[in-house]
């Protein structure tokens, strides 16, 4: 069944349909939230809040709307609200970075694509270091670029859906993606080791 069929079934009272929607979207949504807020515990809270908003707003969902776009718009708005609240605070949590680094399932999707752990301890350490550099580079992106990058690369959404979720036109979304990729390339190039001797 499509997401839209499941959501329509949930609107008619089928709780199993909602459970299937959660099962389909929980992992990619959590990855998006974790990369967006860079805090594992906060991402967990926002994940729960996103699905709670789906439950509360289920009656207002229209069958013409794509469920995933609606879901990720809710999640993105929660992230933006959280950023606004954080901007009002004068201090940040000292253990947020440690929680993000040490949390369960903290390996980022992009890091998982780099290399497996089967190449030995040194290669695993290099992979972990590179994954941390990628996370830091993504966290340093301006919010508008970061959200487009994460929706495209982590959630795998097409540009048209991202544009709908953000209330922007496709050209703007593609432009933000280009800038994000340029910033990431430059940030990661700064961390590349200068050519050393061959082993």
Domain coordinates in residue numbering, the chain: 1-96
Query: Among 39, 30, 127, 113, which Cα is nearest to 75's?
Result: 30
This prediction's pTM: 0.64
- Residue 106 phi/psi, 5-degree rounding, is -80, -5
Residues 131, 18: Cα–Cα separation, whole Å: 33
Q: Can you give the pLDDT of all 199 residues of the chain as single tens digits?
A: 899 999 999 999 999 999 999 999 999 999 999 999 888 999 999 999 999 999 999 998 888 878 999 999 999 999 999 888 877 764 444 445 444 455 555 444 444 444 445 555 565 666 677 777 788 888 888 988 998 998 888 888 889 989 988 889 999 999 999 999 988 888 878 766 554 444 4
Q: How far apart are CA 122 and CA 174, in angstroms?
A: 37
- Topology (CATH) of 1-96: Rna Polymerase Sigma Factor; Chain: A (1.10.1740)
């Amino acid at each position: 069944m499509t997401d839209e069929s499941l959501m329509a079934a949930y609107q008619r009272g089928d709780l199993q349909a909602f459970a299937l929607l959660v099962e389909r979207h929980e992992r990619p949504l959590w990855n998006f939230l974790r990369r967006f807020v860079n805090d594992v515990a906060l991402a967990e809270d926002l994940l729960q809040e996103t699905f709670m908003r789906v439950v509360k707003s289920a009656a207002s969902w229209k069958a013409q709307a794509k469920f995933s776009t609606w879901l990720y718009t809710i999640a993105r708005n929660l992230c933006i609200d959280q950023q606004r609240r954080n901007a009002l605070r004068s201090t940040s949590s000292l253990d947020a970075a440690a929680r993000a680094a040490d949390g369960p399932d903290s390996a980022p999707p992009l890091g998982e694509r780099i290399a497996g752990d089967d190449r030995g301890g040194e290669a695993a350490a290099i992979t972990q270091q590179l994954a941390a550099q990628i996370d830091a580079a993504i966290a340093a992106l301006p919010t508008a670029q970061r959200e487009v990058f994460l929706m495209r690369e982590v959630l795998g959404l097409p540009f048209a859906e991202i544009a709908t979720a953000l209330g922007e036109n496709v050209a703007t979304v593609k432009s933000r993606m280009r800038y994000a990729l340029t910033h990431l390339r430059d940030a990661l190039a700064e961390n590349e080791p200068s050519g050393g001797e061959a082993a």
